[in-house]
Every structure is written in C-alpha cells, then in structure tokens.
C-alpha cells in the first residue's frame, strides 16, 4: 500500500510521512472514554489498514491511559511496518488540565505502565512529553537513557522543546524525533531548522490547529504547507471521525514526497 504523502524514517523504521495523532480519541478535555468506543476503534483500524498510515502517535496522558488501551484493542498484534509512538511525563489533574511531572521514579513508572497497556516488551519511540522545569533536566534524561539501556525504550524523542533543549540532549545521545507545534497559524519554530540540520525527524502536532484550520480552509492547504517545509517534517493530524480521516488522507495524496 502506498503511504499517504510518501515515507520518512523515524526511530529506525520507514513509515508514512502522514501520521495519525490520537489525542482526540477520548472524551471532552482529553479526558475519559470517547463517546463512541466502536467508532474510535474503527478510526484506528482504518488509519492503518485502509489508508496505509503507519505512524501512530499517542501518550499515556490521553484519557489518561484511555488511548493506549484503545490502540492495543484495535491494532494488536501490531503490523511490522507500524510505529506506535507514545509519551510519558505529564499528569492529568482534571479534564483539560496538564502538568509536567519529571520525577525519575514517575517517568520509570510511566514507561512500565505503557509497556503493559500496549502489550509490548519495548516502546519503539518514547517521548519525554515535557521537560519539567521543577526537576533536574539531567535526572529526567538519565532515567530515559537507563530505560533505553535496559531495552524498555528503543528510541527517545522530545516534545515541545527549544533548540537549546535539543542541543543539550544531543551531547549525550541521539534524539530520535522532536514533536512541536507547527501549522499555518504557528509558523515559526526555530527547532524546525535545527532538526533539518541534525537530520532529526520533526513531528508536527496540531497541524490543523485543533481542527480550526480544517474547518476554515479544509485540510489540504495547511497539510500541504507543512509537507513543503522539508522532507524531515511529519504531520500527525488527529480526528475521531472516519469521514474526516478520509478527507485528511485524500488532501495529501498528491503532496510532496
């Protein structure tokens, strides 16, 4: 199956440049179960088996925990070509509320729990969801490196980071991917150029600005703009509806490869 918008290598695996973000497969406020669990499962299966999307992005904080369970139910056993990327290091006090928590013991617990929920022996790509400013950055990175050495994490990514953050981590080990906001509203991220220079995949989250750009312009123009920013850019639009997923995939079929 030809992947939408061509391919990119992330965490050692060749996957579709168009990924699928799963943040919207929950209840309101990214909290609890989706209104229709069967539809959520169907969207995941259609993304992979119908549309050829092989990069699925999630986080333990989505629900929390809801979406990792959905991914396992919908897609396990995971096809060899599919990359399931998850994140740890964010707690959810309430619907719509997010707080970084970079305590090393908590980060280790996040990884161990995601392994169980996804039913895998190794997280092929695990992002530090946020760098917690109240915890030593060294300690946060060190525990992820320890988990990598133990074989529980394959590759480490960074989310919502600056070029300085990336440079700091690169002093110790490679960064497999950077996930930051980029869209036609938020066009300027200095990490975009740095990732290009260091051959780091740049995973653009909120590529449709939480659906606002798709509602105003349709998905084609915003996604085509993202794909034109460089071959290292991989957008991960999210939706909870099969019809919207079809529109997103169709909008990039003839895009840059």
pLDDT digits 0-9 by tens, 87-118: 999 999 999 999 999 999 999 999 999 999 99
pTM: 0.96
- Kindly report, residue by residue over 201-238, the tens digit of the pLDDT: 999 999 998 777 777 778 999 999 999 999 999 999 99
User: Across all residues in the chain, what is the average pLDDT?
Assistant: 95
> 99-124 burial by CB neighbour count: b if 16+ within 10 A, else e?
ebbbbbebbbebbeebbebbebebbb
Quick one: pLDDT at residue 255? 53
pLDDT at 222 (0 to 100): 94
pLDDT at 254: 62
Q: How far is CA 76 from CA 81, 84, 117, 165, in A?
A: 13, 11, 11, 34
- Predicted confidence band at 4 (pLDDT cuts at 50, 70, 90)? confident
Q: Which residues pair with 123 in a beta bridge?
A: 153
Encoded tokens for 257: 């490869």
Report the SS3 class of residue 246: helix
| Calculated CA dihedral for residues 212, 215, 217, 219, nearest 10 degrees | 90
pLDDT reported for residue 204: 98
Percent over 90 (pLDDT), the chain: 92
Give the per-residue pLDDT at 39. Answer: 98
Preceding amide of 234 cis, omega within 30: no
pLDDT higher than 50, residue 257: no
Stretch 51-73: mean pLDDT: 98
C-alpha distance across the termini of the chain, in Å: 15
Q: What is the pLDDT of residue 215?
A: 76
Distance between CA 82 and CA 75 in Å, rounded? Answer: 10
Residue 62 known to be catalytic: yes
Q: CA torsion sign, 48 to 235 to 12 to 106?
A: negative
Per-residue model confidence (pLDDT) at position 144: 98
Report how far residue 225's alpha carbon sits from residue 211's, in angstroms, rounded to the nearest whole number: 16
Catalytic residue from among 62, 127, 202, 205: 62
Beta strand ranges found along 73-225 (DSSP E)? 83-88, 90-91, 99-100, 123-128, 153-159, 177-181, 202-205
Domains and CATH numbers, the chain: 7-252 (3.20.20.100)
What pLDDT does residue 213 have?
76
């Amino acid at each position: 199956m030809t992947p939408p918008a061509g391919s990119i290598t992330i965490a050692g695996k060749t996957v579709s440049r168009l990924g699928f973000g799963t943040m919207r497969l929950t209840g309101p406020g990214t909290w609890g179960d989706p209104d229709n669990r069967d539809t959520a499962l169907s969207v995941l299966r259609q993304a992979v088996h119908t549309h050829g999307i092989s990069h699925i992005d999630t986080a333990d904080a989505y629900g929390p925990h809801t979406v990792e369970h959905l991914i396992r139910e919908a897609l396990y056993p995971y096809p060899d070509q599919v990359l399931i990327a998850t994140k740890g290091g964010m707690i959810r006090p309430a619907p719509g509320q997010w707080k970084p928590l970079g305590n090393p013991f908590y980060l280790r617990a996040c990884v161990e729990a995601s392994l169980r929920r996804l039913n895998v022996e190794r997280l092929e790509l695990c992002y530090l969801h946020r760098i917690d400013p109240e915890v030593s950055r060294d300690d946060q990175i060190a525990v992820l490196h320890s988990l990598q050495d133990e074989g529980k994490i394959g590759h480490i990514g960074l989310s919502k980071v600056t070029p300085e953050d990336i440079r700091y981590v690169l002093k110790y080990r490679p960064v497999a991917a950077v996930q930051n906001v980029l869209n036609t509203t938020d066009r300027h991220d200095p990490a975009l150029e740095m990732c290009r220079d260091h051959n780091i995949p740049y995973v653009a989250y909120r590529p449709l600005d939480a659906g606002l750009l798709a509602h105003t312009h349709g998905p084609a123009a915003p996604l085509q703009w993202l794909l034109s920013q460089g071959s290292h850019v991989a957008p991960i639009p999210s939706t909870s509806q099969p019809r919207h997923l079809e529109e997103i995939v169709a909008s990039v079929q003839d895009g840059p490869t």
